[in-house]
Amino acid sequence: MIYTDHHVHTRFSPDSSADIESYLLRAKALGLTSVMFTDHADFGTGDELFKDLIDYEGYFNHMKTLEKAYGIPIRVGVEVGYEKNHRGAIDEFLHRFDFDFVIASIHYGDGMDFYLGDFFYGKTQEEAYYRYFEILLEMVENFTNYEVVGHLDYITRYGPFEQKKYRYRDFKEIIDEILKGIIARQRGIEVNTSGLRGLLGVTFPGEEVLRRYLELGGRTITIGSDAHFNEDYYAGVLDEVDRLKALGYTGISAFEKRKEKFYPIEFKRKSLGYE
């Protein structure tokens, strides 16, 4: 199977204890042609847990050893937690290592972490979401050292709000600016299926934004489970392929050595004997 899960965390991420070997066995059982890992590398985070980067030289060597032992190609990606005052350090970090794929994500804003909740204090839901989109827009306009923007509306996963979902039309202008900015710079987005496993029951981003991205001329798109546990590996990926096709997408992107390969969706359906 050619559709590689493009967002996966291992025990090398501070918030995961998933072991790599189990992922590799799972990928082989699924008949995948490669595995991608995207452990966290956060810059400027307010969360103690994420302050230190791992030993990447050891990490790359470890992946090489496993690749040989398990006989499946391992792509080494990274999920960068972006913060505008650390843009230089991020570029330097990405220059130093030979990653296959970079996801750029906003995990915190104005020095506050979304996960820890302090970002939301004193803000209405609209203010909090709007501020998040402003922070993301700043990234899109000033940073291009990545392939896809991670979980584009991640903010909705957190926040003490009863109804966490939002309507695209309430943030239409700024979301359009973000999407146009991504497209103009020839970057992409991901569909992150982690929300399907939680209470929200939606992908990040959801259908309205996926539709709009396509309408505005977006093409590059990866699919990722954002698994932090072995059992979540590949969750929802094939369903997303079908859904994207139904929305009008013609292909899914995959990355190696930071170069894009575009797999027509038809190919998957044929290879699975659907058509």
- We find the least distance from the C-beta atom of residue 105 to Zn ion, in angstroms, to be 4
**Beta carbons within 10 angstroms of residue 230's beta carbon:** 18
What is the C-alpha separation between 206 and 168, in angstroms, rounded? 9
| Nearest residue (CB) to Zn ion, 39 versus 175 | 39
CA distances from 249 to 52, 176, 180, 222, 254 (A): 39, 18, 17, 12, 15
What is the C-alpha separation between 82 and 50, in angstroms, rounded? 12
| Nearest residue (CB) to Zn ion, 153 versus 251 | 153
| Nearest residue (CB) to Zn ion, 79 versus 153 | 79
- We find the least distance from the C-beta atom of residue 13 to Zn ion, in angstroms, to be 8
- We find the least distance from the C-beta atom of residue 273 to Zn ion, in angstroms, to be 33
For 206, the 3-state DSSP assignment is coil
- We find the least distance from the C-beta atom of residue 190 to Zn ion, in angstroms, to be 10
| Nearest residue (CB) to Zn ion, 79 versus 100 | 79
| Nearest residue (CB) to Zn ion, 234 versus 251 | 234
Q: Which residues would be at the binding site for Zn ion (CB under 5 A)?
A: 79, 105, 150, 226
Q: Please, which residues have CB within 8 angstroms of residue 178's CB and are 6 or more apart in sequence?
A: 133, 136, 137, 140, 149, 152
In the complex, residue closest to Zn ion by CB:
105
What is the C-alpha separation between 192 and 225, in angstroms, rounded? 6
- We find the least distance from the C-beta atom of residue 224 to Zn ion, in angstroms, to be 8
